[in-house]
Amino acid sequence: TKSITDSLAEMGTKLITVSINTRNSSRSVKQADIEEFVSENPELFSEYSPYVSGMAQVKSGSDNFQTSLDGIDSNYSSVQNAEVTNGRFFTDSDIERRSNVAIVGTYIQAELFGGMNPVGETIKLNGTKFTIVGVYKETDDSTESSGDNKVSIPYTTAMRFLKNKTISTYYMLAASEDAVDRAVEAADTFIAKKLGTDEGYRVSSISEMLDTLNEMTGTMTAMLAGIAAISLVVGGIGIMNIMTVSVSERTREIGIRKAIGARTKDILTQF
């Protein structure tokens, strides 16, 4: 529980995620609408970041493999607490120009560049060249199935690259922890108004996820405590039975010992 809670808390308890199902809906929320909404509610939100995701074949030299592809902007670093150890993060210029630049995880750094600093090197994503401008700080264990196996590019580039016409995910940062609940409610109302329905989207916060997690683990703890209590009762009855039998079988021996001067403490010590 502590491990999962700490992992969620690292993402920030002020983080709010807006997920919109754009596949089964003819309506969507434009980025300009989100930007205007956030700027008009500074008491609830401090900033936001659009997010686009997909998969890509990453290649350098003769080495290539599948990796997750993120389309992000310059605010993603502060919104998601994403740190870069080498190089730099994306700039507003990269976003506006739809530059072919990338930030890679440590798994890609290890597999394609032998652990050497890859900043300035070129990789290919589905055959398109991208220049590496940064390397993410290691978050997991740099294995193939970990979060360190990823490539991030400007979301404007990713939309064209992945042929996405709309953005389905936005990350928002509440102005304060006290404002999270009000911010979630305001965002939910805003999205519902824009879509014209209260279905086909989800607004959630890390604090909500933590509450749900605590509720689930609380139930599991109660269940495990019940099982442990039953085990203790059954085990106690078993031990009591064994001791009772062992005493009853040796009544003659106990009587002889007491007859020749054994004290009660001596008998108890023996058993």
- What phi and psi, each to the nearest 5 degrees, are found at residue 173? -115, 120
Average pLDDT for the chain = 89
| pLDDT for the residue numbered 1 | 74
pTM, entire model = 0.72
Instruction: Give yes or no for residue 260 having a pLDDT over 90.
Output: yes
Buried b (16+ CB within 10 A) or exposed e, 209-240: beeeeeeeeeeeeeeeeeeeeeeeeeeeeeee
| pLDDT > 70 fraction of the chain, expressed in percent and rounded | 95
Tens digits of per-residue pLDDT, 181-195?
899 999 999 999 988
Q: In this structure, what DSSP letter does residue 177 have?
A: G
CB 125 within 8 A of CB 117: no
Can you say whether the dihedral through the CA atoms of 235, 236, 238, 243 is positive or negative?
positive
Segment 249-254 mean pLDDT: 90
198: confidence class by pLDDT, cuts 50, 70, 90: confident
**Terminal alpha carbon distance of the chain:** 42
How big, in percent rounded to 5, are the helix, strand and coil portions of the chain?
A: 45, 25, 30
* pLDDT recorded at residue 12: 64
Q: Please tell me the predicted confidence (pLDDT) of residue 24.
A: 57
